[in-house]
C-alpha cells in the first residue's frame, strides 16, 4: 500500500507540470492538469490511480471485490479533494499552497487505504461486484468526458483565468506574456 501511495503521489505531482512541459499537447491534456481548477487537481490524482489499475488489476483482478474496491478508492479522491479544499477556504477565504498540496496527498492516501480495505473484506454479493464495475466505468467515462468538455461550474473554473479546461491555461499563459512585455 505504501509503495502505491508513493508512486501515485509522485506521478500525480509530475502531472501537475506535464501539460506545460509538453508544450500544451492535447493528448497530455487528457491526463495532466491544464489549469488550477479543483477538477484538474482531482484529475492529477485520478490519472495515476487509474494507470496504477494496470498493476493492481494484475495482482488483485481475480479478487471478486476488485471493482468495488477500485471504484470506491477513486470516488474517495473525487470527494476528499473538494471537501477539504472548499471547507478550509470557506474559513480562510483564500487557498494556501501548502494545504492544497497536503490535500492532494491526503486524498491519494485515503483512496489507497479504501482500496486495500475493501479488497481484503469478505466477498461481496455479486450485485455489489456488478455495481462496482458499473461505477468504475461511470467514473472513467465521466473523467474522460469532463476532461474534454468541462462543465461551466465552480469546480472546473480556473481561479486565475476564470476560464475552463485548456482555455483556462491558455488565457493564464497569455496574460503572463502580456505582463512580461
162 in the Ramachandran plot: left (φ > 0), alpha (ψ -120 to 50) or beta? left
pLDDT at residue 148, rounded to an integer: 84
Question: What is the C-alpha separation between 8 and 126, in angstroms, rounded?
Answer: 29
Question: What is the C-alpha separation between 167 and 148, in angstroms, rounded?
Answer: 11
pLDDT at residue 16, rounded to an integer: 94
The three grid cell numbers given for residue 116, joined into one nine-digit string: 486495500
**Running along the chain, 181 residues long, what does each successive block of 10 average in pLDDT?**
94 94 91 92 95 92 93 97 96 92 96 96 91 92 88 91 78 49 44
Question: What are the sequence ranges of the domains in the chain?
Answer: 2-180
Are the C-beta atoms of residues 135 and 104 closer than 8 Å to each other? no
Question: What is the C-alpha separation between 53 and 67, in angstroms, rounded?
Answer: 10
Dihedral sign from CA coordinates of 64, 65, 71, 77: negative
pLDDT at residue 160, rounded to an integer: 86
pLDDT at residue 75, rounded to an integer: 97
pLDDT at residue 111, rounded to an integer: 97
Amino acid at each position: 500500500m505504501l509503495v502505491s501511495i508513493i508512486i501515485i503521489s509522485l506521478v500525480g505531482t509530475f502531472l501537475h507540470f506535464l501539460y506545460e512541459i509538453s508544450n500544451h499537447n492535447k493528448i497530455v491534456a487528457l491526463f495532466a492538469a491544464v489549469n488550477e481548477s479543483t477538477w484538474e487537481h482531482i484529475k492529477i490524482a485520478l490519472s495515476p490511480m487509474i494507470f496504477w489499475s494496470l498493476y493492481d488489476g494484475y495482482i488483485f483482478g481475480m479478487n471478486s471485490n476488485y471493482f468495488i474496491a477500485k471504484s470506491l478508492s477513486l470516488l474517495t479522491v473525487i470527494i476528499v479533494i473538494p471537501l477539504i479544499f472548499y471547507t478550509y477556504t470557506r474559513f480562510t477565504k483564500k487557498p494556501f499552497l501548502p494545504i492544497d498540496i497536503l490535500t492532494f496527498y491526503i486524498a491519494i492516501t485515503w483512496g489507497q487505504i479504501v482500496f486495500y480495505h475493501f479488497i481484503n473484506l469478505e466477498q461481496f454479493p455479486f450485485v455489489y461486484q456488478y455495481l462496482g464495475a458499473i461505477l468504475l466505468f461511470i467514473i472513467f467515462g465521466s473523467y474522460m468526458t469532463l476532461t474534454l468538455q468541462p462543465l461551466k461550474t465552480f469546480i472546473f473554473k480556473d481561479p486565475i483565468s476564470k476560464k475552463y479546461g485548456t482555455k483556462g491555461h491558455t488565457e493564464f499563459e497569455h496574460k503572463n506574456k502580456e505582463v512580461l512585455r
